[in-house]
A and B are shown apart, each in its own frame.
Chain A
Amino acid sequence: MAQYNIEKQLNILDYALSSLWRRRMKSLSVLLVFAAVIFLLASFQMVTQALSDKAKQVLAYTPEITLQKMSAGRQETFPLTYKDQLDGIFGIRRVVPRIWGYYFDEVRLANYTVMGMDTAEMPEGDRLDSALASGKMPSHEESGRVVIGHSIKKGLDLGGRSTFSLFRPDLSLKPFEISGEFSQNTDILTNDLMVMTLDDARDLFAIPAGQVTDLCVYVANPKEIDTIARKISDALPAVRVLTRPQIQKTYQVVFGWRSGFGSICLLAALAAFVILAWDKASGLSPEERREIAILKVLGWETSDLLAVRFWESVIVSGLACILGMTAAYIHVVYFSASLFRPVLMGWSVLRPELHLLPSMAAGDILLILAFTVIPYLAATVIPAWRSATVPADSALGG
């Protein structure tokens, strides 16, 4: 009996395959369009997932508390003396002053991220040299020396030279010498980065002596981050206090919103496709009616006819899903999601090389299946019940 059922289903599968093959132009175009929709949807999901995974891994090491001064709704520099007011708060391990700014290069039309700080004071600061492709970090006293990201190096087009100049606000030139270069592997963080000493950064941006833009605060016990943040907030009411959990949460919200937005756009495309499939599947052409009537008279049950349609849909949507997802994976991993680069990167002039490696968990695959194959099956198999309404005797007479 089992043997009979298997052989019967195989026969019906054969028939479904050969009828797909008979209409191969139509089947192939449906397959390709469907695969393309799945490709877009899956690529998007993979890029988002890979980026947010990377962000999550990396953000676990951001400063525990960041302090900034807000004035009239804008961020302002503040005197280093603020640091002294934190002395009384118990539980703070260290406070590192920093100047974080953006330098707009009018020749290359690119934004550089400039950081002035003494990296030796930071956690892991002594290991920073190991993350450089060449050279070393400038020490606190080494004025005029910078470490730059890969894209800046490329953009400056230095040739063999290791010196370049940037404009101060009064258009006088400030010379720099490259003391090190970030590795291309870390482009996703360091692509537009330029790290120098605090004094150099003040000089470049014409910030008065003793002023900084942020303070990075590290605490002894990570469980007390929120308590200490509240105490800082009380001690320095003019200061905005950002904690690591807040930044992480923000990221989740940003990524969630972003991927949700993109997914909705792409799901709309999918919905359009499914509606089209429904429309195509729900009307029976005269040829199809004739075929159904003949098969019924020849002893095919209605369930057999439904099984043919079911197999056709499973084959088309299953193949489209496999092809679309595989293509998406290849696109993201081997072509750095080049189709989505313009959207992700916006108008940036400095674009990092994306080395993305999405981890395709069973859950992600099931999610894509649920949003693609199942609607397609529903849209094509349910209208096939109409074949049950074709009377067998319409094959007679006439």
Chain B
Amino acid sequence: MSIRPALVFAILLGLLLVLEAALFVDALSRRKVEATTLTQLEVLTSALGLTDLAVSTEARYTRHPAVSDAVAPFMDHPGAIEHFPTGAFWLPPPR
């Protein structure tokens, strides 16, 4: 007795659903950990007056674009074009 393809497909979808559920349950526990980290981050930003994430640190104007300015990349050389990879993704503030 062979089972119909639609049933096989439904079982496959069911398995995927179990995987998603497992990821969801894991996400719940991760979210709890995240919450404690977040209070630490809040204390740090308040106490140190930080303005940016330390995601890209290759140039001084990419580390803290919010307190940098549009001409920052040109400070190294008058004709310099912004050439750092993250600079293509993190613009200095428009103002």
Interface set of A (CB-CB < 8 Å, partner B) = 10, 13-14, 17-18, 21, 51, 54-55, 57-63, 66, 68, 70, 73-75, 96, 98, 100, 102, 110-111, 113, 115, 117, 119, 122-125, 127-128, 130-131, 149, 182-183, 185-193, 195, 214, 216, 240, 242, 246-247, 250-251, 253-254, 257-258, 261-262, 315, 322-323, 326, 329-330, 333, 342-350, 352, 354-355, 357
Contacts and interface: CB of A to CB of B under 8 A. Distances in A.
Q: Give the 4 A-B residue pairs with the shortest CB-CB distance, closest first.
A: A346-B86, A17-B5, A124-B46, A250-B93
Interface string B39-56: 011111111111111111
A315 to B, nearest CB: 7
Given A345-B86, A346-B86, A73 B71 contact: yes
Q: Chain B: interface secondary structure?
A: helix
A57 B50 CA distance: 12
Given A51-B55, A113-B64, A242-B66, A258 B89 contact: yes
Contact of A349 (B58, B91, B95): B58
Contact of A326 (B16, B27, B30): B16
Interface of B: 4-6, 8-9, 16, 19-20, 23, 27, 30-31, 34, 37-38, 40-60, 62-67, 69, 71, 75, 84-91, 93-95
A57 B40 contact: no
Given A63-B49, A326-B19, 16 more contacts: A51-B53, A54-B41, A58-B42, A58-B50, A61-B45, A73-B69, A111-B57, A124-B42, A149-B54, A246-B95, A247-B51, A250-B95, A261-B89, A343-B86, A346-B56, A357-B30
B46 A123 contact: yes
A59 B45 contact: yes
Name the residue among B54, B91, B93 with the largest chain A CB count within 10 angstroms. Answer: B54
Contacts, number: 210
A134 B69 CA distance: 35
**B48, B94, B95 — most chain A CB neighbours (10 Å):** B48
Contact of A124 (B47, B90, B95): B47
A214 B67 contact: yes
Contacts of A59: 45, 51
A258 B66 contact: no
A58 B43 contact: no
B89 A347 contact: no
Contacts of A115: 48
Contact of B58 (A190, A346, A352, A354): A346
Given A62-B50, A119-B48, A346-B84, A315 B9 contact: yes
